[in-house]
Amino acid sequence: MHIEELTLPGTFLITPDQIPDERGTFYESLRSDVLESAAGVVFRPRQINYSVSKRHTLRGIHSVLIPPGQAKVVTCVRGALRDIVVDLRIGSPSFGEHHVNELTADSGRSVYVPEGVGHGFLALSDDACICYVVSTTYVPGTQIDVNPLDPDLDLPWNCPRTPLISDKDAKAPTVAEAVRAGLLPQFSKAGTP
């Protein structure tokens, strides 16, 4: 697999080496030892989640308070997604910046999202399914939600119609409001909160 750092410190794109034959394709989607060796990231899965969405569904921007914190590896396992990560770590050289990836089931590509970086996606196909492999189990009351349509973030969702969005996400605070409320983590020089 190939691991490359994205524009947000500590965030990586993982592209598997696919082995096709007449039956189909095989590839390793995630190897913690390879991620640790190539990127210096220690990632131990604790929970696996799936989200299935209709075309034009917008989910995010989501993160988790630190503690407990939560790193994740996200992969499109059916259909196609416009995946966006946003640096929510106060003091990061890329605070408020984003990175966009198109994730498809065919590509097998994944994004490693470190603690303190927000994540969201737009479903580009019907019945799109994303898998989240996360480093901590769900802890009620620790979620950080930032409005994915925050005009200051100006994220390039490029949705051809009004996206389907939950009330929770539509009513989530802007990044500026989250900063004022003290919800966002501090950035450390090591690139993680």
Give me the active site residues, please.
62, 132
User: Alpha carbon of 191 to those of 42, 49, 92, 117, 171: distances in Å?
Assistant: 13, 25, 8, 11, 30
Peptide bond into 66 cis (omega under 30): no
Residue 121 · residue 110 · CB < 8 Å: no
- Residue type at 52 in one-letter notation: V
Chain centre distance of CA 83: 7
3-state SS assignment for residue 88: coil
User: Alpha carbon of 179 to those of 67, 90, 128, 129: distances in Å?
Assistant: 17, 8, 32, 31
* Strand-pair category, 110-113 with 72-78: antiparallel
